């Protein structure tokens, strides 16, 4: 079995990858996640997933490295992790009543060999009141989540609908696409 590394310290991605029952370790990527001037959200997600995989791959030759990144896209503008309560409330207020795309990119890399996939999920938010937003942010503290919510928790109450191919993509690691990339790399998935 080849060594498998997840280029992330995200507990959400780690929990998702554990579902595949493959042995893996995690490594923190050292990557600047700032968007480039004019970079659209989907391209940002793809670039950052590849950058994370490449940075960890350089430090761990011979290992298969999984890089992933998610960028929320509100009318063409990227929304990252809010970091503060105020920013989370502002993001959710901006998404109230809107359809938001979440681009989740993955990159599987070993010594320069690279495979990539992008999954896009559309979330339709219901109209949210200030009080609902405040209660939600106080209850779940989604400060480390792109788009300021946790769909696997109470965040589901903020939506009217979710349109996607892979429900794991919205959490941060599209397992359907990842399984295909792992099989292409010769890593058997049960």
Any idea which residue has 């999920």 for tokens?
Answer: 121
- E strand or H helix at 167, and its extent? helix 167-171
- E strand or H helix at 46, and its extent? helix 41-59
Identified catalytic residue from 69, 73, 119, 166: 69
Helix (H, G, I), strand (E, B) or coil at 1: coil
In angstroms, how far is CA 31 from the centroid of its own chain? 15
Which among 34, 65, 60, 56 has a CA at the least distance from the CA of 47? 34
Helix (H, G, I), strand (E, B) or coil at 6: strand
Question: Is 69 annotated in the active site?
Answer: yes
CB 169 within 8 A of CB 118: no
The Cα 178–Cα 183 span in angstroms is 9
Residue 143 gets which letter from DSSP? Answer: T
Residues in the chain: 190
Residues with a known catalytic role: 69
């Amino acid at each position: 079995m080849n060594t498998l590394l997840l280029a992330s310290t995200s507990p959400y991605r780690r929990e998702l990858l554990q579902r595949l029952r493959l042995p893996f370790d995690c490594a923190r990527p050292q990557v600047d996640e700032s968007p480039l001037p004019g970079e659209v959200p989907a391209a940002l997600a793809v670039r950052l997933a590849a950058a994370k995989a490449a940075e960890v791959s350089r430090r761990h030759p011979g290992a298969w490295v999984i890089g992933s990144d998610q960028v929320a896209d509100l009318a063409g503008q990227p929304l990252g992790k809010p970091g503060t309560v105020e920013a989370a409330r502002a993001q959710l207020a901006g998404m109230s009543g809107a359809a938001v795309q979440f681009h989740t990119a993955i990159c599987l890399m070993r010594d320069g060999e690279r495979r990539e996939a992008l999954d896009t999920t559309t979330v339709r938010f219901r109209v949210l009141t200030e009080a609902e937003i405040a209660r939600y942010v106080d209850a779940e503290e989604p400060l480390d989540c792109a788009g300021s919510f946790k769909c696997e928790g109470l965040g589901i109450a903020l939506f009217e609908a979710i349109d996607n191919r892979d429900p794991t993509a919205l959490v941060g690691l599209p397992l359907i696409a990842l399984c295909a990339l792992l099989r292409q790399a010769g890593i058997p998935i049960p």
